[in-house]
Amino acid sequence: MSNPVAIVTGSSRGIGRAIAQQLAADGFCVTVNYNSSPDAANEVVAQIEAAGGAAIAVQASVASPEGRAQLLEQTLAKWQRLDVLVNNAGITSPGRLDLLEATPENWDLVLGTNLKGPFFLSQAAANSMLGQIEQGIIAGGKIINLSSLSAYASSPNRADYCIAKAGLAMMTNLFADRLGDEKIQVFEVCPGVIATDMTGPVKEKYDQQIADGLSPIKRWGQPEDVAKAVSAICADYFPFSTGQRINVDGGFHLRRL
Ligand SMILES: NC(=O)c1ccc[n+]([C@@H]2O[C@H](COP(=O)([O-])OP(=O)(O)OC[C@H]3O[C@@H](n4cnc5c(N)ncnc54)[C@H](OP(=O)(O)O)[C@@H]3O)[C@@H](O)[C@H]2O)c1
């Protein structure tokens, strides 16, 4: 059989980039998806190839039906199989507006990218995987959703983002339930505060909060921390688990007294 194949949405930068690089090092052929950064995506592909791995870059917005279809079609055209979908692409709340100033436009943008996109991409990927399992092309599939501590921790200046991430948690449960007996496992990987472009604009605030004990492990999370968790799932170290949330947050989720 050929090498397993993974799509990592939003893997031109940040967490997705580290996941793509890790999965390629693990032996996956990787589709490096990006929206607006072709140079960054091509660089990831070049790094993977230089390290002896296989990857292609595919431009597609997960927020658009055409983009989602393209992503799947180009992946299957190149590799003829799909074993893993990592729903990583995401955007923060534009302007971080207070709840009382939040706009329908931002709502549509954030929910469309961070929740509706992953939902319908997962639907399409799951249908494709089911057909491939039926035909004996793949033994099973995995869908991994990158949520956030914002799925349960309130930030009133990012309501759309928090609601989208809370929705992703339920989406994980729904897909895990529906696909549990169909050889497709579904996981939620829940990062804490991770050093990427997304958190760049609020770096000083988080520097202070981390120093003040925001999480028991007092450091910034790195994209590679998240990539290792995804790698462990994809390496089949959780064969009897599905619908599981895996926190990668330095212990942020603990309630402390
Ligand atoms: N950083 C954190 O502290 C943190 C914490 C918890 C959860 N997360 C989640 O982890 C994921 C990755 O975050 P990050 O910090 O790595 O973000 P990032 O550094 O801002 O990178 C975002 C990535 O998503 C891609 N992207 C954005 N919109 C897209 C679209 N419509 N279609 C396809 N790709 C799109 C970007 O592609 P382009 O380069 O082409 O724009 C980029 O590769 C997100 O879902 C985020 O919500 C992050």
* Nearest atom within ligand 1 for CA of residue 87: 45
Question: What is the domain range of residue 194?
Answer: 5-246
Q: Whose CA is nearest to atom 2 of ligand 1?
A: 194
156 within a domain of the structure (yes/no): yes
Average pLDDT per 10 consecutive residues for the chain, totaling 257 residues: 94 98 98 98 98 98 98 98 98 97 98 98 98 98 98 98 98 98 98 97 97 98 98 97 98 97
Contacts of 146 (CB under 8 A, 6+ apart): 15, 16, 86, 87, 88, 90, 168, 189, 191, 226
The confidence score (pLDDT) of residue 96 equals 96
Distances (CA, A) of 98 to 102, 104, 154, 158, 216: 6, 13, 12, 7, 28
CA of 167 to the centre of ligand 1 (A): 17
Matching residue, tokens 């983002």? 161
213 within a domain of the structure (yes/no): yes
Q: Is residue 148 lining ligand 1, measured as CB closer than 6 Å?
A: yes
253 within a domain of the structure (yes/no): no
- pTM value is 0.98
The number of domains in the chain is: 1
Pocket perturbation via mutation, ligand 1, pick of 8, 9, 11, 13 by most ligand atoms within 8 A of CB = 13
36 within a domain of the structure (yes/no): yes
Query: Active-site residue 161, yes or no?
Result: yes
The confidence score (pLDDT) of residue 155 equals 97
Matching residue, tokens 């893993």? 84
> Which residue is catalytic, options 152, 161, 206, 237?
161
254 within a domain of the structure (yes/no): no
256 within a domain of the structure (yes/no): no
CA of 228 to the centre of ligand 1 (A): 17
Query: What do you get for the CA distance between the two ends of the chain, in Å?
Result: 52
Q: What is the CATH number of the domain that holds 41?
A: 3.40.50.720
The confidence score (pLDDT) of residue 1 equals 61
251 within a domain of the structure (yes/no): no
141 within a domain of the structure (yes/no): yes
